[in-house]
Amino acid sequence: MIKKINVLSITLIFLIGCSENISPVDSGLENQIYHHGNGSEPQGIDPHIVTGVPEHHILISLCEGLTIPNPNPSGSDGYIPGTAESWTISDDGKEYIFNLNKNAKWSNGEPVTADDFVWSWKRILTASLGSQYPDMLYYLEGAYEYHNGLIDNFDEVGVKALDNHTLKVNLKNPTPFFIGLLSHYSTWPVHKETVLKHGDIDDRNGEWTRPGNFVCNGPFQLKTWELNNKIVVEKNPHYYDASMVRLNEIHYYPVSNVMTEDRMFRAGQLHLTSSMPTQKCPIYIEEKNPNLKIDPYMGTYFYRINTENETLSDVRVRKALAYSIDRQLLVDKVTQCGQIPAYSFTPPGSNGYQPTTEIPYDPVLAKQLLAEAGYSSDNPFPKLEILFNTNEGHRKVALAIQQMWQNELGIEVELVNQDWKVYLSREMVGDFQISRAGWIGDYEDPNTFLDLMRPNRGNNKTGWENMDFDALVEEANTINDQEKRYELLYEAEKILIDNMPIIPLYTYVRVYQLSPDVKGFNPHILDHHHPKFIYLERD
Amino acid sequence: MVAIFFRRILVAIPVLLAVASITFFLIKIAPGGPFDADKAVSPQVLKNLNEAYNLDASNWEQYIDYMSNLLRGDLGPSFRFPGRSVTEMIATGLPVTFELAFYAILIALVMGIFSGVLAALKRNTFLDFIPMAVAMIGICVPTFLMGPLLVLIFGINLEILPVSGWGQLPGDKILPSLTLGFAYAAYIARLSRGGMLEVLNQDFIRTARAKGLTERMVVVKHAMQGGLIPVVSFLGPAIAGLLAGSFVVETIFQIPGLGRFYVEAAFNRDYTMILGTTIFFSAMIVFFNLMSDLAALWLNPRSRDAS
């Protein structure tokens, strides 16, 4: 009996071992099938409802807005024509005329018209749809009012179809980053007839996004969708630029476990990973792993301070905390993955924006500020609490900062980690002293960061309100001249750092693994990679 | 046995209703909601979302609404995945979880019973010590370590098996089934060894041997029937545990089973999905416990005759 089992198992292993073992990456090269690690299972693929990064990766292959990100961005040339082949902007910067590509078609072969954009924008601004990104279009005349029920007639909103291929957009203010906004999926069109066939304009649960039903205007079309397994998209023959598209299929895998994704990459099952296990990053850097990519990314890791807390309402205390953090040490010894110390809220360099703010590492000054605030050995500083969502990376950063504040200022710090939703709800109601935060830009402009800290913004969460800051950001958004605009924003940034309701720690980098077979995949500060430029080729 | 079956089914109904009710109010108490996100939505948008999912009604109204839908077999729409119903998502993940559990239990039974019986028969020899030591390791090594270890050896170093997936690449079901099966094989080995040792010392075994039966007949026909009752009793909770607890293996091997939906629903505060999967798994636990109780009754000649 035992002998039989042994013979059987040896034969089995032998058979498996001898079978020709072609990995998906190898076979993908031959068939132009791109295997894409995609983080988590997407909420859906309705561009007006979903909100996440995995959803973006899929949607950028299925649908297309008026503009697309330039694969080789240089200076202000960050966006190139998408469904709009050209556009003109009025001198006052408030009126845009988009000329749609006459060959642009939906994946069912019907032409894409200007009316399709008008209807799609009406859909996202329909309050009962419950879209989470209507504010992307609040820059249009009447858009905020329509969404909030102040006006009922959509004709009063600043978007009109002049004819089948001409779209006119009127903005409230000159908004220099408006072209960039248009490459965000919330502004992309949906196929009216398909949506209405499966529900009303405001139906969140319509089945129009299922394989077989889904119609959109991107370079690929939806082929299959196996929940929690993979989504397959195939080349759309009706795409106006189909001859440019070299990939035949993209397979998106919702791999939420970073270690699993790393193993899949090493075993040749993926061309691209969505992230990297943090503990492996320094090892791969030391090994000079050629597949490891570290690209600039428009995101800031920071600590929010609850300025309504009695102790932390004193700006000297907030500055003392910020000045006693050695950011260089933090990125060199703790995060260890090419992150850049942050001395401003907006990451420098994005679209030519170079804030001049400084946050010194000066423990002596920090101690002095704390003394000025009235803390001494007779009146010791009360215990502080750092709130963060449960994650090994956040814990390491918090530990390092706990140590720095303990050593430099003699402050006792308690670390509190909470489940993601508990952490969010505590932040929302202001039940924290200091909390970990991160922010990734939605579009390539400092406004995507600075707008956050204006009074009454839901994501401010610090209780800090500064009317001078607010006026500067407001005024900057009415100016068309980028240089003058940036001057105002630099000033706003300075007020923010002087008041320190947040402590910037480091600028994110995008860390991932990429197979050398993948070509046409260039670093992009928002991590937008249009798949029509990507192809597979072995050197 | 038929009476026992129906009595237990009747008891199960209030149990499941109680599970549904307790779960409903527990998730309402948990801080955070389904639409809390890093990028907070405006109060207007939140109001629209709450209206869309009837979350603006009072907890009691929502409870009555949910329970009446539940009694009609409607588990509602998922909050996290717009356009998907909870029933549909359970139906998608269930066959995969069942298949994984089936292979795992098969591996566990074959490996566990074989080594357990062998250890009992060869008591206090190397054929006892070695399988039992391995079983102890199987119990002690958690699946989140066993899985990556097997992947490292067979997937990355030897390159003979895929490291993840389910039904995508040839042989991708082997490592997850082994990982999950091995942990249960260890328990079954120890249980069958214990059960067999107890039975092998009893009079009817001596009688069987005195009758001149072959050792194989004594073990297979007489000893195993009684000796494996603990294993059968263990199987009910084990299968239920396999179904509900396959989350770790499903995550390590990127398997689209129900376990991942279950755990991720809790993290996402996907209320209807948490309720749907909890009720479903409770029903599974009740059902498999009942089945294993009935099987144990049937295996035991005294209770079989009595019923």
Q: How many interchain CB pairs under 8 A, A with B? A: 150
Distance from CA of A92 to the nearest CA of B (A): 30
State which of A69-73, A92-96, B11-15 shows the largest mean pLDDT. A92-96
Phi, psi angles (nearest 5°) of residue A69: -70, 140
pLDDT, tens digit (0-9, with 9 covering 90-100), for B71-109: 888 999 998 888 889 999 999 999 999 999 999 999 999
The answer to whether A492 and A344 are in contact (CB under 8 A) is no
Can you tell me the mean pLDDT for A289-314?
95
Q: CA angle at residue A181 from A177 to A186, to 5 degrees?
A: 165
Distance from CA of B199 to the nearest CA of A (A): 24
- Confidence band (pLDDT; 50, 70, 90) for A188? very high
Which of A2, A35, A205 is most worth mutating to test chain B (most B CB atoms within 10 A of its CB)?
A205
The answer to whether A34 and A247 are in contact (CB under 8 A) is yes
Can you tell me the mean pLDDT for A182-202?
94
Q: Pick from B77, B168, B251: which is nearest to A205 by CB?
A: B77
Is the CB of residue A426 less than 8 Å away from at least one CB of chain B? yes
Euclidean distance between CA atoms B80 and B37, whole angstroms:
12
**Environment class of A210 (CB within 10 Å of its CB; exposed 0-12, middle 13-18, buried 19+):** middle
What is the per-residue pLDDT for B90?
93
pLDDT, tens digit (0-9, with 9 covering 90-100), for A19-44: 456 889 999 999 999 999 999 899 89
Asked if A263 and B163 come within 8 Å (Cβ–Cβ), the reply is: yes
What is the per-residue pLDDT for A11?
46
Q: Pick from A210, A263, A428: which is nearest to B155 by CB?
A: A263
pLDDT, tens digit (0-9, with 9 covering 90-100), for B124-143: 888 888 888 888 888 888 88
Can you tell me the mean pLDDT for A237-252?
96
Q: Kindly give, in sequence order, each residue whose CB lies less than 8 Å from that of residue A136, ignoring residues fewer than 6 positions away.
A: A124, A181, A184, A186, A187, A442
| Of residues B40 and A207, more confidently modeled | A207
- The Cβ of residue A48 has, within 10 Å, a number of other Cβ atoms equal to 26
What is the per-residue pLDDT for A246?
96
- The Cβ of residue A285 has, within 10 Å, a number of other Cβ atoms equal to 15
Can you tell me the mean pLDDT for A321-348?
96
**Predicted TM-score of the model (pTM):** 0.89
Is the CB of residue A153 less than 8 Å away from at least one CB of chain B? no
What is the per-residue pLDDT for A204?
84
Distance from CA of B264 to the nearest CA of A (A): 10
Mean pLDDT (chain A) is: 92
pLDDT, tens digit (0-9, with 9 covering 90-100), for B238-264: 888 888 778 889 999 999 998 888 888
Distance from CA of B154 to the nearest CA of A (A): 10
The amino acid at B243: L
B160 → chain A, closest CA residue: A17
pLDDT reading at A402 higher than 80: yes
Asked if B83 and A19 come within 8 Å (Cβ–Cβ), the reply is: no
What is the per-residue pLDDT for A18?
42
A14 → chain B, closest CA residue: B160
pLDDT reading at A5 higher than 80: no
What is the per-residue pLDDT for A509?
95
Residues of A in contact with B261 (CB under 8 A): 228
Q: What percent of chain A has pLDDT over 70?
A: 95
What is the per-residue pLDDT for A66?
96
Asked which of A70-84, A203-217, A463-477 is least confident by mean pLDDT, the reply is A70-84
pLDDT reading at A238 higher than 50: yes
Q: Pick from B31, B39, B44: which is nearest to A459 by CB?
A: B39
A419 → chain B, closest CA residue: B267
Is the CB of residue A346 less than 8 Å away from at least one CB of chain B? no
Asked which of B37-51, B81-95, B209-223 is least confident by mean pLDDT, the reply is B37-51
Mean pLDDT (chain B) is: 88
Asked if A44 and B83 come within 8 Å (Cβ–Cβ), the reply is: yes
What is the per-residue pLDDT for A17?
45
In terms of C-beta distances under 8 Å and separation of at least 24 residues, what long-range contacts does B278-285 make, across chains too?
B278/B19, B278/B20, B278/B23, B279/B16, B279/B19, B279/B20, B279/B23, B279/B70, B279/B75, B280/B90, B281/B240, B281/B243, B281/B244, B282/B15, B282/B16, B282/B19, B283/B12, B283/B16, B284/B240, B284/B243, B284/B244, B285/B237, B285/B240, B285/B244
Which of 203-232 (A) contact B at CB < 8 A? Answer: 204-207, 209-210, 226-230
Q: Pick from A130, A206, A426: which is nearest to B52 by CB?
A: A130
Which residue from B137, B223, B222 is spatially nearest to B187, judged by alpha carbons? B137
Residues of A in contact with B38 (CB under 8 A): 424, 438
Is the CB of residue A516 less than 8 Å away from at least one CB of chain B? no
pLDDT reading at A122 higher than 90: yes
Q: Pick from B45, B160, B163: which is nearest to A16 by CB?
A: B160
Can you tell me the mean pLDDT for A272-279?
92
Residues of A in contact with B51 (CB under 8 A): 128, 130
Predicted ipTM beyond 0.90: no
Distance from CA of B108 to the nearest CA of A (A): 16
| Of residues A15 and B303, more confidently modeled | B303
The answer to whether A59 and A50 are in contact (CB under 8 A) is yes
Euclidean distance between CA atoms A398 and A392, whole angstroms:
10
Residues of B in contact with A147 (CB under 8 A): 44
Is the CB of residue A6 less than 8 Å away from at least one CB of chain B? no
A19 → chain B, closest CA residue: B160
What is the per-residue pLDDT for A74?
60
- Confidence band (pLDDT; 50, 70, 90) for B52? confident
Asked if A43 and B256 come within 8 Å (Cβ–Cβ), the reply is: no
Is the CB of residue A4 less than 8 Å away from at least one CB of chain B? no
- Confidence band (pLDDT; 50, 70, 90) for A332? very high
Tracing tokens 């993926």 back to the chain, one arrives at: A270
The answer to whether B86 and B276 are in contact (CB under 8 A) is yes
What is the per-residue pLDDT for A20?
52
**Environment class of A65 (CB within 10 Å of its CB; exposed 0-12, middle 13-18, buried 19+):** buried
Asked if B168 and A206 come within 8 Å (Cβ–Cβ), the reply is: no
Can you tell me the mean pLDDT for B142-160?
91
Q: Which two tokens stand for residue A165?
A: 């291929």
Q: Pick from B32, B171, B257: which is nearest to A422 by CB?
A: B32
